[in-house]
Structure formats: C-alpha cells, structure tokens
Amino acid sequence: MTTHVATDEKNYLQEGHTLASWLLTKDHKRIAVLYLISVSFFFFVGSIAAMMVRLELTSPRGTLMSNETYNKAFSAHGVVMVFFFLVVAIPAIFGNFLIPMQIGARDLAFPRLNLLSWYFYMAGGIMFLIAMMSGGVDAGWTFYTPMSSIYSNGQITLALVGAFVVGFSSIFTGVNFIATIHKMRAPGMTWWRLPLFVWGHYATSLIVILGTPVVAITLLLVVFERVAKIGIFSPELGGDPVLFQHMFWFYSHPAVYIMVLPGMAVISEIMACFSRNKVFGYHFVALSSLGIAALSFIVWGHHMFVSSQSMYQGIFFSFTSFLVAVPSAIKVFNWSLTMYKGSVWLASPMIYALGFLGLFTVGGMTGLYLASVGTDVHVTGTYFVVAHFHYVMVGGTLLAFLGALHFWWPKFFGRMYPEGVAKWNALLVFIGFNLTFLPQFVVGWLGMPRRYHYYYFAPEFQVYHVMSTLGASALAVSLIVPAFYLTYSLFKGPKSPPNPWAARGLEWEAAASPPIKHNFHGVPVVVGDVYDYDAEAEELALRGMTKEEA
C-alpha cells in the first residue's frame, strides 16, 4: 500500500544547518517551523498580558496597576492574541506544512511569497512589540474611533501599521493556499477526495482575501486621521465614527471564522483518525465550511446592536447570525456521529478534540444569546461577551491548535513525546479553561462590565474573579508543561515510526516522518476515497479475527 522511503535519505530538517538555510528557505515545511517558533513567542507575550489582567481583577479596588496600565494590558493581550496568534497559528503553521502534503504537491504554489509572508509577519510583530514597549496601546483590539484616532495617547500609529503589515502576511498566505488547492492537486485528488483539513483552509483563505484588505485600508485610514488629521471617520471632518465600526466588523466578524475554521479543519482530521472512521457526512462538513465563509460576511452588525444602527438592521443581523449557527452545528453533529460505531482511541490529540467539541458548542450556543437583540442589549459590553468569545477562540481554536500540535508533532520532527503526560495535561487544559471562563459567564450576566480595572461597586463579584484567576493559573501551567515536554522530545524523545497513529492521508501514507525536501519520491496517484478507515476490521483485528471469520 505504501511506498516508503529509504531511511538514509536526508529529511527536510537535515537540508542545511546554517541560519541562512532557515531564514532564506523556500520549503513550506521549514517556513512552517519558522512560524511555529515565532507564533509561540507571541503567544507567550499575549499570555503575560492576560495574567496581568487576571491578577488585577482579583481585587475589586484595582490596586495593582493604574487604569491606564490596565487598558494597555488588555489591549496588548487582545491585539497579540488575535492578530499574531489566532489568525495566524493554524493556517501558517499546519496549513503551510500540510496542505501541499495532503494534496500531493511538492510545495505551495508560490514559495517565495510564502517566505515573504513570514517576514511581513515578523515585521508587523516587531512593530507592535516596539509600540507596546514605547508607550503601549490602550484602545483595545477593536481600535474604535475616535478613541484611537484622536483621544488615545498611546503608540496607536505604530501598532496600526503593524496590524496593517501583518494583514498582508495573511493575504499572501491566503492567495497562496487558493492557487495551490486549485491547481496543484496530485492526479486523482479530486475536490471530493480532499481531506476536510484542506476544505477548511480553502474556506478560510476565501475569507482572508475578501476581508483582510478591508480592515487593512480601514486601519490605514485611522492612521491618516491620527497623523495627518485627514480622515473619513472624524466627526470634526463631517465623518461618522460608526462607519469605522461597520468596516472593522465587516472584516472582524469573518475574522472570527478565519480563527476557527482552521481549528475545525484540524478537528475533522483528528476525529476521523482517532475514531478510526470516515467523517460522518463528509460532503456536508466540507460544504458547511463554504457556507460559514459566505454567511460570515452578512452578520457583522451583531456587534453593533447598541450603536446607532437602525432597528431593522438589528433584526436583519440577528436573523443572519442565527443562520450562521446552522453550518457550525452541522459540523458539531457530524463530528459526534463520526465517533458513533467508530473505535474511539483516547490519545492526547483526541482529548483535545473532544474538549474542542464541548467548549465550541458552549461558545456557539452563547453566541446565539448574544445574537438575540433583546438579550444582547442586556449583556453587551459585559464579561458574558468575554466568556463567549473565549469559549470559541480558546476552547475552539487554542484546543484545536494543541490537538494539531500533538497529532502532527511526529510528522514535523519525527519524535514522540511522553504520551502519558500529554494526556493528563490535555485534561488539565480543559479543567483550567472551564474554571477560568465559566465564572465569567455568571459574573457577566450579573453585570460585570468588560474592560474595567475595578469593581468596587459590586464587591460580591470578587469570588468569580478569584475563581477565574485561579483557573487562568492552572491554564498557564498546562501550557508551560507541553512547552517543556515537546522541546525535550526534540532532543531526547524516541524516534517515531513514519505513521504512529496509523492515520490515512497522503501526508502519512506516502511520505516519511519527517518528510524529505520534496515531500514524496514521485507524484502520488490517488485512487481511493479519503478517510478509508475501517473501524470494524480494526476492532476485530484486536481480537485476532478477520471480518469473514466474524
């Protein structure tokens, strides 16, 4: 079945050991590793800011830092996590590495553009770091005007230019993925044989190329307004600040799907492999990604129910927001049914995937509370919203990221990590996460506003905040632990077999772990369907039987 590879051959990690061989590489796999390192760094920076926020809120009086410092802490957290972690992490690391391998190509369509995208990411990131250290940014990740364009006195300009530059990095990746998926598929790799991972990234890339330019220009206009005092959003110039919100959310709602669709893409792969089953309703799951991409562009107004938007707009956006929950639900149901009659194997990637399933569901359902205009008027701007989006972004995307990291780690580096520790750690992530964010639903519902650095008016909220901070500490531990054992495994971990999970898909079946520079020793020719797992046969094999005997 598989044409494996002479082991004495150089894998992609061994093609050159100089720094230049990494920094000038055009190999999609090496660029993925560059991204892995830099994205992890930014995740670390964002987490420090989060811990500052959590520590401040343990006391109702806001004793630890001034309100301005607090604003800078949560803004840094939001900007870094959204623009430098969530939007980038899964596509640029796993998409980059795996899309060419899963479709049977030697590289992405435009390798130099791919490398350029990493440089843009780094340039944008460094600009933001400088902005953070030389005065900070206090306008939140949403940069609402006129706060950002006129009143804020932080380093908004540099931060916005950084966000603009990093936007180009996503655009480059998006264009690259689209061209690759359309034109570089191996013979026999039809659209309906594409792994759902590829489908998810295809939908994501469509959103990226349609949405990111909008936010990029919008942020640039804010820069013009701030620097040259010319602008479109200033009331002083006859402009309308709410127009900024429209343009910002026109991108930023679809952007939440840029963040979660790749996560969903990962979950489909993990669910199939660790249930030893075809993904239930493959076509529906694939099409629901496109459905989400399309619908995501007509719901942005649900972030603006209490802006000056008209009541009829509110009703429209409320309705469309309910619609967008449908394809998301299709996915959740289909993943659940994938386990049905499968042979579920609770390895660490699967534990993360199951965590995703539960947490994403809670996040999505609470999204519907927020999408109901009447309810939203009550809870908008409170911790309820904060809890909602952390359930989808952390419970969804971060867990999928960790799942992907554990699933494809042997593919990336050819080493195994200590699975026992990894499993317990996955459980700790789940517990720590819930302890952090469940209390936020409650305290938000009771009226705790977001972005306040004190709550002396309601000291009874303290117990929820303390729970949340404890949870965040547990979560922090559960993120440091993998950093250690994964790094350890790079040097001391046992060598992994080419396909430690007996997974299906070209990246596992037709390539070595780690792969060679051109991924395959030839051009893979695909004849069968995707996910041709056979749970029944495998279960029987465990009992030493074949299907005929049974």
Partner 1 sequence: MISLKKMNQPQDTVYEQFEDLAQQQETYVLGMWSFLVTEVMFFGVMFMSYIVYRWKYQPYFYALHKELDWRIGGINTAILLASSFSVALAVHYHQKKKKMNVLMCLGFTNLCAISFIVIKLLFEYIPKWNHGHYPGPGFSWDNPYVPSHIAQLWFSLYFGTTGLHGLHVLIGVILFSVLMYLIAVDHPSISDYLPTEMLGLYWHFVDIVWIFLYPLYYLMPK
One-character DSSP codes across 341-370:
TS-----HHHHHHHHHHHHHHHHHHHHHHH
Contact 410, 513 (CB under 8 A): yes
Query: Which partner from the list ligand HEM, Cu ion, partner 1, none does 109 bind, CB cut-off 5 to 8 Å by kind?
Result: partner 1
Decide: is 542 part of the binding site for partner 1 (CB under 8 A): no
Decide: is 15 part of the binding site for partner 1 (CB under 8 A): no
Instruction: Read off the tokens for 375.
Output: 């309810």
Would you mind telling me the total number of residues written for the chain in this entry?
550
- Report how far residue 228's alpha carbon sits from residue 32's, in angstroms, rounded to the nearest whole number: 38
Query: Which partner from the list partner 1, Cu ion, ligand HEM, none does 526 bind, CB cut-off 5 to 8 Å by kind?
Result: partner 1
Among the listed ranges 208-216, 365-373, 428-436, 535-543, the one in contact with ligand HEM (CB under 6 A) is 365-373
- Judged by CB under 6 A, the chain residues 367 through 386 that form the site for ligand HEM are 367-368, 370-371, 376, 380, 385
Instruction: Read off the tokens for 316.
Output: 């429209």
* Residue whose CB is less far from Cu ion, 269 or 376: 376
Decide: is 82 part of the binding site for partner 1 (CB under 8 A): no
Instruction: Read off the tokens for 374.
Output: 């009447």
Contact 248, 218 (CB under 8 A): yes
* Residue whose CB is less far from partner 1, 176 or 366: 176
Decide: is 253 part of the binding site for Cu ion (CB under 5 A): yes
* Residue whose CB is less far from partner 1, 263 or 524: 524
Binding string, 397-416, against ligand HEM, x = CB under 6 A? x-------------------
- Report how far residue 296's alpha carbon sits from residue 110's, in angstroms, rounded to the nearest whole number: 28
Across 67-88, b (16+ Cβ under 10 Å) vs e yields eeebbbbbbbbbbbbbbbbbbb
Paired residues of 449 in beta bridges:
382
What three-state secondary structure class fits 315? helix
Instruction: Read off the tokens for 380.
Output: 């908008």
- Report how far residue 255's alpha carbon sits from residue 210's, in angstroms, rounded to the nearest whole number: 10
Interface residue with partner 1, options 9, 68, 419, 532 (CB under 8 A)? 532
Query: Which partner from the list ligand HEM, partner 1, Cu ion, none does 107 bind, CB cut-off 5 to 8 Å by kind?
Result: partner 1
Place of tokens 């749970």: 535
Decide: is 95 part of the binding site for partner 1 (CB under 8 A): no
Decide: is 52 part of the binding site for partner 1 (CB under 8 A): no
* Residue whose CB is less far from ligand HEM, 92 or 325: 325
Contact 284, 334 (CB under 8 A): yes
Residues found near partner 1 in the complex (CB under 8 A):
1-3, 100, 105-111, 171, 174-176, 178-180, 182-184, 187, 209-214, 216-218, 221, 224, 228-232, 236-240, 243, 247, 504, 506, 509-510, 518, 520-528, 532
Site residues (vs ligand HEM, CB under 6 A): 142, 256, 259-260, 302-303, 321, 324-325, 328, 364, 367-368, 370-371, 376, 380, 385, 388-389, 392-393, 396-397
